[in-house]
Amino acid sequence: MSAQELEKTAQAMVAKGKGILAIDESFPTIKKRFDNITIESTEGNRRAYRDLLITNPGGAEYISGMILFDETMRQNTADGTPFPEALIKQGIMPGIKVDAGAKDLAGHSGEKITEGLDGLRDRLAEYRKLGAKFAKWRAVITIGDGIPGTGCIEANAHALARYAALCQEAGIVPMVEPEVLMDADNTIDRCYEVTEITLNTVFNQLYRQRVTIEHTILKTNMVISGKKCKTQAGIQEVADKTVRCLLRTVPAALPGIVFLSGGQSSQLATAHLNAMNKMHPHLPWPLSFSYGRALQDDCLKTWAGKSENLAAAQAALLHREKCNSLACLGEYTDKMEQAV
């Protein structure tokens, strides 16, 4: 892919009013999600569920790309069309999760390092042949007693930068995802502090590894209170602190920023994104979404593994996609939730 194509792909990922649907759950993660609706994580059930997500009529109006898992990249729709081809036909770009998961970081109790660099050049070449336009790598930063340490942040940022450089070499846009987890009891200000140092370190490493910022998408957490924190910051505070943190750390040359939902409720993830775009309409980059749970939760519950629920499940997904598309424009209101 030429430089122009990489730039075009990156810009199309964050086109006005569009975002990314993350459906790249690994085997252990999809099992957890299926356990919640008491269905077994078999190859057939995973295919049926991803088929529903991928072939949802009308989704292309709000969704620019979907992040797939390796298995999904090689599966077909019910009529035998490979999933990547089914997406391309709708005008949706296939993306692929290429990291091999977060493992314990030696010498750093409670902290993780994302693996998957070995052999990545060859895997990227294959994914490109299968139709991938962009790839995702998730680094996990945990907030806790005395953590994160500099060693963990630097190791993860370095791996993200090496992955991003390999992606661009292969003609694939890297979606660089440093995720500061929101599961602890920390305040929003602690999240701000950790997110700021993480993003600074990541962009420093991207520069060191000669990654072209114009051909990169950032996927990050919002600056938010830890789930177990007694005082939960309101929507406006989350929006303002997230935007301030990004303005201080992210180069203006970046084509766009998308957020993960990280365990926020579906409606709150939408409301936060909307508040950022409504109150801060003149940022250097578009702010959009790349949610997994916050787009899929209602859909998955509605489906419950039963084919007779397929249309209702697809409608639930489309509703969340539409709400988040409007949130990209700052035009979402919670009245839209009552119409369902």
- Looking at 6, 294, 317, 323, which residue binds ligand 13P (CB under 6 A)? 294
Question: Which parts of the chain are beta strand (E)?
Answer: 19-23, 63-68, 93-97, 102-104, 112-114, 134-141, 173-180, 217-220, 256-259, 287-291
Among 291, 300, 313, 319, which residue sits at the site for ligand 13P (rule: CB under 6 A)? 291
Q: Does 158 bind ligand 13P (CB under 6 A)?
A: no
Which segment (36-44, 121-129, 181-189, 286-294) binds ligand 13P by CB under 6 A?
286-294
SS3 9: helix
The minimum distance between CB 107 and ligand 13P, in angstroms, equals 25
Beta carbon of residue 268, minimum distance to ligand 13P (angstroms, whole number):
12
| 43 carries an active-site annotation | no
Residue 261 interacts with ligand 13P (CB under 6 A)? yes
To the query of whether residue 71 is one of the catalytic residues in this protein, the response is no
| Residue 192 DSSP one-character state | H
Write out the binding residues for ligand 13P, residues 13-32 only, by CB under 6 A.
22
Q: Does 39 bind ligand 13P (CB under 6 A)?
A: no
Nearest residue (beta carbon) to ligand 13P: 292
Question: Is the dihedral angle over the CA atoms 169, 170, 172, 177 positive or is it negative?
Answer: negative
Task: Sort 209 into a burial class: Cβ within 10 Å, 0-12 / 13-18 / 19+.
Answer: middle
Catalytic site residue from 219, 241, 321, 322: 219
Q: Binding pattern to ligand 13P, positions 123-152, x when CB under 6 A?
A: ---------------x--------------
Q: Residues 6 or more apart from 118 whose CB is under 8 A from it?
A: none
Site for ligand 13P, residues 174 to 213, rule: CB under 6 A: 177
The HSE-up count of residue 267 (CA atoms within 13 Å, CB side) is: 7
For the CB of residue 263, give the shortest distance to ligand 13P in the complex, in Å. 7
- Using an 8 Å Cβ cutoff, are 200 and 180 in contact? no
Cα angle at 249 between 244 and 251, to 5 degrees?
115
| Cβ closest to ligand 13P, residue 37 vs residue 284 | 37
Q: Residue 43 has which token pair?
A: 């190859």
Instruction: Establish if 94 lies at the interface with ligand 13P (CB under 6 A).
Output: no
- The 3 state secondary structure assigned to 80-124 is CCEHHHHHHHHCCEEEEECCCCEEECCCCCCCEEECCCCCHHHHH
Minimum distance from residue 143 beta carbon to ligand 13P (Å): 16
The residues annotated with a catalytic role in the active site are: 177, 219
Contacts to ligand 13P by CB under 6 A = 22, 138, 177, 260-262, 291-294
